[in-house]
Amino acid sequence: MDIARQLEIIKRGAVEIISEAELKKKLEESIARKRPLRVKAGFDPTAPDLHLGHTVLLRKLRQFQDLGHQVIFLIGDFTGRIGDPSGRSEIRKQLSRDEVLENAQTYKKQISKVLGLEKLEIVFNSEWFDKMSMLEVLELTRLATVSQMLAREDFKKRLSRKENISLLEFMYPLLQGFDSVKLKCDIEVGGTDQIFNLLVGRDLQRDFGQPEQVVITMPLLEGTDGKQKMSKTYGNYIGINEKAEEIFGKVMSISDEMMLKYYELLTDAKMEDVRGKHPKEAKEELAWRIVRDYHTETSADSARRNFDNVFKNKELPGGLNEYTISGDKKILDILTDSGIVKSRNEVRRLIRQGGVIFDEHKISNEDFLITKSGIAKIGPRRFLRIIRK
C-alpha cells in the first residue's frame, strides 16, 4: 500500500504524531527494505477485563497489522506491580505478582477479538526486568533527572496540593521507556495521558544508540456518563466480555455527541455516512456494529430486537434471569447472590442513584426486604425475575 494511504489510515482518530515526518520516513524505509515496522502498545494487567476504552489502542494496532507491520502486545506484568502514575491523584495500590499474572491470563483470549494472534508478538516485561541487577537499575536512573520528572503535569498538580509522590512512581516512565529499548520499537501507541512516558522511550532509545520511536497518541474514550474516562472505577465502562444485550443497551445510553467519537475510534465506518443519518438510527447501527465485533452478527441482531421489545414496546426481555428465595431476603443480598450485579458496592451505588426498581417501586434502602415474587429492574437494561417459595 502506498505511503499516502497508510498515513491516512494511521492518522484516523489520532491526537498527535511525534513526528509525522519521522513516521513517513520510517514507512518509506519499511517499503524500500521490505522490513515491517515494529509497533508496540503496552498494557498493565491491573484488572482482568478489557473494555471499549482499551480497544481504542487495540484497533490502532490492528490497523498496523493489516498494513503488514509487526505488532507487539506488551503485557506489563512487572510494571503492573508498580502502577502507572499517569493521571493519578494519589499513589496507586500495589498489586502482587500473583494478582498481576492472574489478570494477564485473561488477556490473550480477549485481544483475539481485535488482533490477529497469528501475526502478533506477545511479550512480558518481566522477561528483562526480573533479570536486571540493582546496579543496572541504578545505571538506568542516571538517564533521567528529578526536574524532568517534576515537569510532568500530573506530578505538578499533586505537588501543588501537597500530596505525596513516591520514588517508585518516578521509576515508572523509565521502565516503560526501557521496554522500547529492549524491543527496538519503531512506533509506540498510547493514550494522551501516556505522552510523558512515551517521550521518555524516545529519549532512552537515543541514549542507547537506537533510532527514536515515533509516538502516536490516541484520545481517551469517555464512558457511558460522557464525562470521565471509561473505567471500572467510575462504573461507566462497557466490557468486551459483557453480554450482547448489555453492550447494546449501554451503547444506546451514550449521548449523540459522544456517538460520533465512538464511531471514529471503535469502528471503520465512513464518518460522512454516519453524519448523514438520523441520530437514533446511527446510534442503533453503532451498537449493532460493536456487539457484532465482540460477539456475532446473530447476537447483534438479537440484541437489537431485545432492545426494541424492552424500550419501544415496553416488553420484558426474553430469557429473563431467575433467582429463587425460600423466604424474605434483602435486595442487596439477592442482587449479589444471583450474580446479576457483580459486587455489593455496585448494588449500593445503583440504589443511591435510584437505579433499582422492584414491581414499579423504586428502592431507596439496601436493607429493603423482598417478601413476594416479582421483577427487579437494575439500571436501564438488567432484569431479574425473583421467585419466592
pTM across the whole model = 0.78
The H-assigned helical ranges of 267-373 are 271-275, 279-294, 297-307, 331-337, 344-352
Q: How many domains does the chain have?
A: 3
The edge-to-edge listing of strands for the beta sheet with 361-362 is: 321-325, 382-388, 374-378, 356-358, 361-362
In the 8-state DSSP scheme, what is residue 222? B
| Pair 355, 307 in one domain | no
Domain boundary among 201, 218, 235: 218
Q: Of all helices (H) and strands (E), which one includes residue 324?
A: strand 321-325
330, β-bridge pairs: 369
Cell numbers 522500547 correspond to 180
Q: Are residues 159 and 293 in the same domain?
A: no
Indicate whether 229 belongs to any domain.
no
pLDDT in tens, the chain (389 residues): 789 999 999 999 999 999 999 999 999 999 999 999 999 999 888 777 899 999 999 999 999 999 999 999 999 888 877 655 554 444 445 667 777 777 778 888 899 999 999 889 999 999 999 999 999 999 998 988 888 888 777 788 888 888 888 787 788 889 999 999 999 999 999 999 889 899 999 999 999 999 999 999 999 999 998 889 998 778 789 999 998 988 998 999 899 889 999 999 999 999 888 988 898 899 999 999 999 999 999 999 999 988 887 766 566 666 678 899 998 999 999 999 998 888 888 899 889 888 898 887 889 888 999 998 888 888 877 888 899 88
Decide which of 312, 337, 355 is a domain's last residue: 312
Same domain, 183 and 283: no
In a domain, 18, yes or no: yes
Residue 8 lies in a domain: yes
* Whether residue 117 sits in one domain with residue 256: no
Tell whether 19 and 122 lie within a shared domain: yes
- Do 198 and 176 share a structural domain? yes
Query: Are residue 196 and residue 248 in the same domain, yes or no?
Result: no
Same domain, 295 and 336: no
**Do residues 305 and 337 share a domain?**
no
Examine the domain organization and report whether 62 and 136 are in the same domain.
yes
Q: Which of 285, 312, 339 is the last residue of a domain?
A: 312
Give the structural domain span for 305: 244-312
Is 239 within a domain?
no
Is 231 part of a structural domain of the chain? no
Q: Strands, DSSP E only, in 183-224?
A: 187-191, 214-218
Q: What is the CATH number of the domain that holds 379?
A: 3.10.290.10
Co-location of 328 and 364 in the same domain: yes
